[in-house]
Chain A
Amino acid sequence: MALKVVIGLEMHCELKTKTKVFSKSLNSYNDIPNSCITAIDLAFPGTLPVVNKEAVKKALKMAICLNCEIPEVLIFDRKNYYYPDVPKNYQITQNTKPVGINGKIDVEVNDQLVPITIHDIHLEEDTASLDHYFDYSLIDYNRAGVPLLEIVTDPCIYSPEAAVAFLEHLRNIYKYTDCSEADTKKGQIRCDVNVSLKEEEAKELGTKVEVKNVNSFSNVYAAIIYEIKRQTELIESGKKDEIIQETRRWDEESGTTIRMREKVESIDYKYYVDPNIPKIKIESKWLEEIKAEIPLLPLERKAKYIEDYNLSSYDAGVLVKNKEVSDYFEECLRLGINPKEASNWITSQIMGYINKHDIEINEIFLTPKRLLGILNYLNKGTISSKQAKELFFMILEKQEEPDILIKKHGIEQLNNDDELINIIQNILDNNQSQIDEYKAGKTKVFDYFIGQIMKETKGKANPVKAKEILLSKLK
């Protein structure tokens, strides 16, 4: 019996704004605990939430990017539940008229475009963060009220790879549009993953298990793999009934999911329209303005790189996968660097360096302008490609300008014909037996001579010139 996995995702992402979604407290990460809170965040009596325009704008921008239907009027609702992370005993969210419904986006999975349909996108307030200790928890309300966008897909994803590709794609859109920093390390993204299995041909979905609050994409992948294995084993051993609709959590330490609660006992949230927030009419003129602000998104940039700059699909894909990398590439082009040359340096040398050191491209000292410095020397023939690579690492490590390093370390290609002729002649004079071998047909000896030239010039000889001179001398 072939089983098919069906996955639905709920991705929460904090939006980038100066202030919180309903109050004027700072939306700031990693501040001193309980320092960015006002009476509104704590729901003191008599306070009224006032909706942040920028948060609504960014939520709408995401809804446009995901091709959603946007209602004429937005409504905020109260989701009632009792938990220490929500000081009001309800969370302001959207249930009746969210910012977007019925969206659709194509995601690239192994070079294939896979359609993902979006059930809805809603803007809500984040909850306080809880730090759990042995027998107590501490509450920091700084996060309470931070604008949070929840994107809910339909159960339309059929592999863990597609799930992660979708999340990465969304993270990119958040970054490209500057709607969020979308940094998982800062806890700005959290996912709920719904996993069920069904027989390949079955029309009805299997029993859904929800894995809550997964905080990284690698954990989303691992949680899905684990659930597929767990549910498959239960089905194959005739214990299908043991798969129940429930909420589980991902336990990173054991690499398993652990039952939190059964859905049948789940809390009734008793949603109702928040009477403190008037309905918000979305003017079509405003929507047009927001639309006009959306830059080229990753897949559009990729297509442009392939078409306009003749890059390979692979290289273009590597460049757009990270917005900062793509921006770096575009800055290189703005400075006049040849697109292929820029792409080669970024995808090989620079990516290799930042991946090895686990840093971001905008953290390195080698800015596009400094890369241009290297390339100018290289293209003028002042330095060889080997020297260019040496200079590249020197700039990164010593954090000094290319001009200064070139002078300081005498990095220069030996281009002077007379000097090269002298050196080569000298080497030939001392290696008569190798010349004889070469002339007898042992052409590999040629490389031996090149090696000698490089040794003699400490790698500075212009290799093209050196080869030319050597060839003429050996004739």
Chain B
Amino acid sequence: MNHKFTNEEVTKLADKLLIGISEEEAKDIVEELTFVADSMNVISEIKEIENLEPLTYPFNLYETSLREDDDYEEGHNIEDLLSNADCIQGREIEVPKVVG
């Protein structure tokens, strides 16, 4: 994978993902993505890697124990949680209206 990321490409991707980014941010992201791509290139150079099934989890752990549906956890303290939000109303988080 020898892909070169560009500002234009990153801006287009951000637009697709509905994120507004400044030119400065786009530049930083290009740098980050280039670093990621370079790291991936190192992996790609491993011999016959294309014959291996991609790993999505550190171990091929099929015998997973699922969680029993018995114990429950009390909800977090609402004041603590809401203190992370910029705008609240009562117990809820307020956001700009997004549908017409």
A-side residues, CB < 8 A to B, are 17-19, 23-26, 32-39, 42, 50-56, 73, 75, 80-84, 130-140, 249, 258, 260, 267-268, 272-275, 277-281
Contact A279-B61, Cβ < 8 Å, known A34-B78, A34-B81, A267-B17 = yes
Partner of A18, one of B57, B62, B70, B78: B70
Contact B72 A34 (CB under 8 A): no
Contact A53 B68 (CB under 8 A): yes
Bound: A39/B74 CA distance, A: 11
A-B contact list, 15 entries, CB within 8 Å: A24-B73, A25-B73, A33-B90, A33-B92, A35-B78, A37-B75, A38-B75, A38-B76, A131-B92, A137-B96, A137-B98, A139-B95, A260-B99, A278-B62, A279-B60
Contact A18 B69 (CB under 8 A): yes
Contact A53 B97 (CB under 8 A): no
B3 within 8 A of A: no
Kindly list chain B residues whose C-beta atoms are within 8 Å of the C-beta of A137: 94-99
B-side residues, CB < 8 A to A, are 16-19, 56-57, 59-64, 66-73, 75-76, 78, 81-82, 89-100
Bound: A55/B69 CA distance, A: 8
- Residue on B nearest A213 in the bound complex, by CB: B99
Whole-angstrom distance between the Cβ of A281 and the nearest chain B Cβ: 4
Kindly list chain B residues whose C-beta atoms are within 8 Å of the C-beta of A279: 56-57, 60-62, 64
Contact A273 B56 (CB under 8 A): yes
Contact B92 A18 (CB under 8 A): no
Bound: A17/B71 CA distance, A: 11
Whole-angstrom distance between the Cβ of B77 and the nearest chain A Cβ: 10
Kindly list chain A residues whose C-beta atoms are within 8 Å of the C-beta of B73: 19, 23-25, 38
Bound: A81/B63 CA distance, A: 31
Bound: A130/B73 CA distance, A: 24
Contact A42-B81, Cβ < 8 Å, known A32-B91, A53-B68, A138-B94 = yes
Partner of A51, one of B18, B67, B71, B78: B67
Kindly list chain A residues whose C-beta atoms are within 8 Å of the C-beta of B17: 80-82, 267
- Residue on A nearest B68 in the bound complex, by CB: A53
Bound: A140/B94 CA distance, A: 10
Knowing that A18-B69, A52-B67 are A-B contacts, what are 18 other residue pairs whose CB atoms are under 8 Å apart, sorted by A's residue number? A18-B72, A25-B72, A34-B81, A37-B75, A52-B69, A84-B93, A130-B98, A131-B92, A132-B97, A132-B99, A136-B95, A137-B98, A273-B56, A277-B57, A278-B57, A278-B62, A281-B63, A281-B64
Contact B69 A37 (CB under 8 A): no
Contact A73 B75 (CB under 8 A): no
Kindly list chain B residues whose C-beta atoms are within 8 Å of the C-beta of A258: 100
- Residue on B nearest A268 in the bound complex, by CB: B16
Contact B95 A37 (CB under 8 A): no
Kindly list chain B residues whose C-beta atoms are within 8 Å of the C-beta of A56: 66
Bound: A268/B15 CA distance, A: 11
Kindly list chain B residues whose C-beta atoms are within 8 Å of the C-beta of A136: 94-97
Whole-angstrom distance between the Cβ of B6 and the nearest chain A Cβ: 18
Contact A52-B94, Cβ < 8 Å, known A34-B78, A38-B75, A278-B61 = no
Bound: A277/B57 CA distance, A: 7
Bound: A50/B65 CA distance, A: 9
The 6 closest A-B pairs by CB, nearest first: A54-B69, A53-B66, A273-B56, A281-B62, A24-B73, A138-B92
Contact A37 B76 (CB under 8 A): yes
Contact A24 B72 (CB under 8 A): yes
Whole-angstrom distance between the Cβ of A144 and the nearest chain B Cβ: 12
Bound: A460/B68 CA distance, A: 61
Kindly list chain A residues whose C-beta atoms are within 8 Å of the C-beta of B89: 138
Kindly list chain A residues whose C-beta atoms are within 8 Å of the C-beta of B64: 51, 278-281
Kindly list chain B residues whose C-beta atoms are within 8 Å of the C-beta of A277: 57
Bound: A13/B53 CA distance, A: 34
Bound: A447/B57 CA distance, A: 86
Whole-angstrom distance between the Cβ of B32 and the nearest chain A Cβ: 17
Q: Which residue, of B60, B75, B78, B90, has the highest number of chain A Cβ atoms within 10 A? A: B75
Contact B66 A19 (CB under 8 A): no
Partner of B72, one of A19, A35, A82, A273: A19
Bound: A56/B66 CA distance, A: 9
Partner of B16, one of A52, A135, A267: A267
- Residue on B nearest A277 in the bound complex, by CB: B57
Kindly list chain A residues whose C-beta atoms are within 8 Å of the C-beta of B56: 75, 272-275, 279
Kindly list chain B residues whose C-beta atoms are within 8 Å of the C-beta of A80: 17
Whole-angstrom distance between the Cβ of B93 and the nearest chain A Cβ: 5
